Chains A and B, each alone.
Chain A
């Protein structure tokens, strides 16, 4: 009888310690998850800002200005355009 009781006491203590460590681990992991979620949010914000920057740099008036003034490009006259039919038949 006594031996069984001692055994059960030991088992209960091991379980209790297990609960404590797993709780601790869970909280650690949860904090990590929180951190990563926070990072995901800030990356999303950054993505929005980069998209904004991209569209600002790539506005058509700006592209046209650079193409015309800096690179001296112009649209080809229709007579100089040769149409190649798809498939080449």
Chain B
């Protein structure tokens, strides 16, 4: 009986994540529009876009292969599974021990691998631009992310997100410089991985500035819908990770009962809204970087992560 309840809660988390992801993106877009003194699209516009795309027919290029057709499903599946394994309103769920932070980062890497291949599949130069730039950004963002994971797991003694969240709520963490550095590094990686300004512009169609948009240029219909959902899920994943690691107050522990879960869901939605708010302000306040300044930016994130690991040893000694 208990296992059925656990299963239901785990499935509930997966559905919550899928349901909230387009809402987060809609919220960010609406907020950015307001900051630019525009009305902006309604909050539920991403859902409408997805429904519209799902109903349209797919236009495939003559040279597209089965990799092109399968990639959206695999990208969506990998990103959804990764997002579902991040504690959102409860830690210690039934399947949260299937993957730790390293595995979640690698799952996102699988999604990126398939997307980059899909970009190369049709054989146009735009796809090539997107894929090669995406792999360059990934080659610095993923190590930076892993350095942040190292810092957190050296502090918490575990790589499981549930254990990290639990130890961050504990008493002997304190205000450490390493945590501040890890937070800044994680923010920089999140911006790069989600193709946000200043690394990439999610609303552009100019080839000089495209990275993510260039890879998915040839996609249409239901395939495009799946890839869009995957990018919404990725943004939700990163905001959830930052919320559950650095602001873990209000997360329920598995087994506390339905009332605790509901309260935790409300807290989670508030955290998402705060994250979306800050993202919108940041994106509006800053300009996009040239592509070849991105390695400097991400190199700084990698250095910050590594510095965080080093500085951790200073206080562990004492």
Partners in one complex: no
**A interface vs B, CB < 8 Å?**
none
